[in-house]
Amino acid sequence: MKDYWEEPEKKKINAKKIIISVIISILVVAIIVLVALYITNKEFRNWIDIQVFRKEISQDKVATIDLDEGQTTNTYAFNKYIGILNKNKFNLYGTTGAEEASLDMQITNPLFHSANRFLVIGESEGQKIYLIEDKEMAWEGQVEGSISQVYVNKNGYVAVIMSETSYKSVIQLFDPEGNALFKKYLSSTIAIDVAISTDNKYLAIAEVDTSGTVIQSNIRIISIEKAKTDPTNSEEKNYKSEQNKLIVNIQYQEKNRIVCMYTDSINIIENDQETVLFENKNKKITAQSIHLDNNFVTIEEESSGIFSANSVVNIVDIDTKNTKNYTVETAVKEIYTKGDIIALNLGTEVEFINTGGWLVKRYVAEQEVTNVTVSNNIAGIIYRDKVEIINL
């Protein structure tokens, strides 16, 4: 008969499971602490960026493209390539510095603009124009008038601004195959900038009228579909700014929003209204750019001592209107922007940050950096006799 007074058998403790659980808990806590330190402690973040993530790169550790000294070359970064135009040849180089393609083009004084995998090149004050897709020639053509600006959207639609005709400005639009869709003639205003919406439905023209006693800027929205058959009656909207407000650049963003950069503010056109996003008033703004994906950037100089100043990089998200900050302890000589990348020329250093406000790469040179070209994937540090490649 079973003895009901018998003591129950004690369960064995699994020491191995307990040890594993404790180790995992310690690792999770350590990761949380390290992430918090990386976010909040600048010195710790800088040490991790250099020692762990290897984000700092010196001049002697990068791939190089050698240039013929004394010859005029034009260098431009787009997509995954560094393009160098010299003697009617446009040579494309990859991240290792190896030549990947060579294209013939009759261009000596180029105007560049790129988006996504497309690059448009026009002859400044000339008539020739070329569209490159990835590393192939998509089409080449010729316009009537003198080219003053070229533009391409991420789908390959090209707009060309021309001057020195019987009109103050003429804008011609081409599709990705090089077919001329229409011309828009401006008789009383000068076209300062153009942009094509991401859905290829609208052409925005930033215009300035200087014929009166005051400057008048406006943004004209053209329906591309209507303009194909009737350019004269294709206008959808015309946003007039305050008097004496000078427009500088425009940029289409997602949801057909247009960011407008004036000399004294950055505005946005959405839901058929233009509103102010940022004002330069009472701020020491040294540089700004709207040529980013769904963001714009301003650099404000702040005094950090009697003879020193910090540069605060303010990155504003167009969608949420939230601002991220990135501070460098010196003056920024120039900024270069494309896609998600902001390049800060600090003299003998160039810091590449993203629109999230994080360091992507820091380039340290042995001499002053005078010129930089940047895309979302690659950058070129341009010297007289060479171009140094930074893989982003």
Measured CA to CA in angstroms, residue 344 lies from 104, 201, 292, 370 at distances of 33, 34, 14, 12
Neighbours of 238 (CB within 10 A): 12
- DSSP lists the bridge partners of residue 240 as 218
- DSSP lists the bridge partners of residue 101 as 92
CA–CA dist 45, 57 (Å, integer)? 16
Residue 288: CA count within 13 A, CB half-sphere:
27
- DSSP lists the bridge partners of residue 139 as 131
- DSSP lists the bridge partners of residue 17 as none
Determine the pLDDT at residue 216. 95
With beta carbons less than 8 A apart as the criterion, state whether 264 and 252 touch.
no
**Which positions ≥6 away from 34 have C-beta within 8 Å?**
none
CA–CA dist 391, 372 (Å, integer)? 13
DSSP state of 48: H
Q: Which of 116, 163, 128 is nearest to 377 (CA)?
A: 116
CA–CA dist 19, 97 (Å, integer)? 51
Helix axes 15-40, 42-51, angle to 10 degrees: 110
Determine the pLDDT at residue 54. 83
Determine the pLDDT at residue 229. 93
**Residue 256: burial class (beta carbons within 10 Å; 0-12, 13-18, 19+):** middle
pLDDT tens digits for 69-106?
Answer: 767 789 999 999 999 999 899 999 999 999 999 999 99
Which strands sit side by side in the sheet containing 258-262, from one edge to the other?
A: 247-252, 258-262, 265-270, 273-279
Divide the 392 residues of the chain into consecutive groups of 10 and give the mean pLDDT of each group: 54 72 84 78 78 85 87 90 94 96 95 97 97 96 95 98 88 97 94 97 96 92 96 93 95 94 96 93 92 96 77 95 93 95 96 96 94 96 94 94
Determine the pLDDT at residue 95. 94
